[in-house]
Amino acid sequence: MAFGVKKSFFGKLQERIGDAILLRPRIDDALMDELEEILITSDIGMATSMRIIEQLREDVRQQRLAEPSEVESRIAQIVESLVDKGERLKMREDYPLIILMIGVNGGGKTTTIAKLAAVYKDMGKSVILAAADTFRAAAADQLEVWAGRVGVDIIRHGEGADPSAVVYDSIQAAKARGIDVLICDTAGRLHNKKNLMNELEKMNKIIDREYAEAARETLLVLDATTGKNAVSQAKEFGSAAEVTGIVITKLDGTAKGGIAITIADEFDLPIKFIGVGERIRDLAAFDPRAFAESIFAGADDGALLASGAEDDDATPPVVGAHDSDGVPSIVGENDSGEQSPEADTDETDDGAAVSVAEEPAEKPAAGKEKKRWFFRS
Ligand SMILES: Nc1nc2c(ncn2[C@@H]2O[C@H](COP(=O)(O)OP(=O)(O)OP(=O)(O)O)[C@@H](O)[C@H]2O)c(=O)[nH]1
Ligand SMILES: [Mg+2]
Partners of 271 in beta bridges: 246
Of residues 184 and 354, which shows the higher confidence score? Answer: 184
Ligand in nearest proximity to the CA of 354: 1
Write the pLDDT tens digit of every residue in 254-264.
Answer: 666 788 899 99
Task: Find, among 338, 309, 307, 303, the residue nearest to 321 by Cα.
Answer: 309
How far is the centre of ligand 2, averaged over its atoms, from the C-alpha of 154 (Å)? 14
Give the nearest ligand 1 atom to 249 CA.
31
CB 139 less than 6 A from any atom of ligand 1: yes
Could you list which residues have their CB under 5 Å from ion ligand 2?
109-110
Which pLDDT belongs to residue 206? 98
pLDDT greater than 90 at residue 336:
no
Average pLDDT for 161-180: 97
pLDDT at 348 > cutoff 60: no
Which atom belonging to ligand 1 lies closest to the Cα atom of 111? 15
Q: Is 188 in the pocket of ligand 1 (CB under 6 A)?
A: yes
Please tell me which residue, 362 or 244, carries the higher pLDDT value.
244
Does a cis peptide bond (omega within 30 degrees of 0) precede residue 96?
yes
Q: Are 114 and 150 in contact (CB under 8 A)?
A: yes
Output the CA 101–ligand 2 centroid distance in Å: 9
Q: Picking from 230-234, 328-332, 366-370, which range would have the lowest pLDDT averaged per residue?
A: 328-332
**Averaged over 55-60, what is the pLDDT?**
95
Q: If you average pLDDT over residues 167-189, what whole number do you get?
A: 96
Q: Whose CA is nearest to atom 29 of ligand 1?
A: 278
pLDDT given for residue 371 in this prediction: 28
Q: Cβ–Cβ contacts within 10 Å for residue 217, how many?
A: 19
Tell me, using a 6 A CB cutoff, whether residue 223 lines ligand 1: no
Q: Which of 147, 167, 149 is nearest to 157 (CA)?
A: 167
Largest CA-CA distance found in the chain, in angstroms, rounded:
69
pTM above 0.85, yes or no: no
Query: In Å, how far are 27, 39, 65, 79 from 61, measured between CA atoms?
Result: 11, 21, 7, 18
Closest CA to 271 of 65, 84, 81: 84
* Sequential DSSP letters for 197-221: HHHHHHHHHHHHHH-TTSEEEEEEE
Nearest ligand atom owner, CA of 105:
1
Number of other residues whose CB lies within 10 A of the CB of residue 106: 15
The 3 state secondary structure assigned to 234-294 is HHHHHHHCCCCEEEEECCCCCCCCCHHHHHHHHCCCCEEEEECCCCCCCEEECCHHHHHHH
Cα 303 to ligand 2 centroid, rounded to whole Å? 30
The mean of the pLDDT values for the chain is 79
- Ligand 1 mutation pick, 186, 259, 278, 333, max ligand atoms within 8 A of CB: 278
Distance 223 CA to ligand 2 centre (A): 13
Q: Which residue out of 199, 200, 249, 259 has the highest number of ligand 1 atoms within 8 Å of its CB and is therefore the one to mutate?
A: 249
Quickly count helices (H) and strands (E) in the chain: 12, 10
The mean per-residue pLDDT over the stretch 36-50 comes to 90
Please write the tens of the pLDDT for every residue from 76-109: 999 999 999 999 999 999 999 999 999 999 999 9
How much of the chain, in percent, has pLDDT values that exceed 70? 73
Average pLDDT over residues 223-250: 91
> Does ligand 1 have an atom closer than 6 angstroms to the CB of 337?
yes
Q: Is the pLDDT of residue 376 over 60?
A: no
CA 265 to centroid of ligand 1, rounded, Å:
25
Has residue 334 got a pLDDT over 50?
A: no
**What was the pLDDT predicted at 68?**
87
pLDDT at position 321 is 31
Residue 357 near ligand 1, beta carbon < 6 Å: yes
**Is the pLDDT higher at 13 or at 297?**
13
Partners of 222 in beta bridges: 248
Please work out whether the CB of residue 133 comes within 6 Å of at least one atom of ligand 1. Answer: yes
| pLDDT value at residue 12 | 75
How do the residues of the chain divide into helix, strand and coil, expressed in percent and rounded to 5? 45, 15, 40
User: How would residue 13 be classed by pLDDT, with cut points 50, 70 and 90?
Assistant: confident
The residue whose C-alpha atom lies closest to atom 14 belonging to ligand 1 is 108
Q: Determine the atom of ligand 1 nearest the C-alpha atom of 277.
A: 32
Mean pLDDT of 22-43: 89
SS3 call for 155: strand
Give the residue-averaged pLDDT of 348-374. Answer: 44
Position 291 scores a pLDDT of: 86
Buried-state track 21-46, b at ≥16 Cβ within 10 A, e below 16: beeeeebeeebbebbbebbbebbbbe
As a three-state string, the secondary structure of 317-353 is CECCCECCCCCECCCCCCCCCCCCCCCEEEECCCCCE
Q: Is the CB of 317 under 6 A from ligand 1?
A: no
Contact 332, 3 (CB under 8 A): yes
Work out which ligand 1 atom sits closest to the CA atom of 275: 31
So what's the pLDDT on residue 338? 34
pLDDT of residue 67: 87
Give pLDDT, residue 293: 81
Distance 219 CA to ligand 2 centre (A): 14
Average of per-residue pLDDT across 326-337: 30
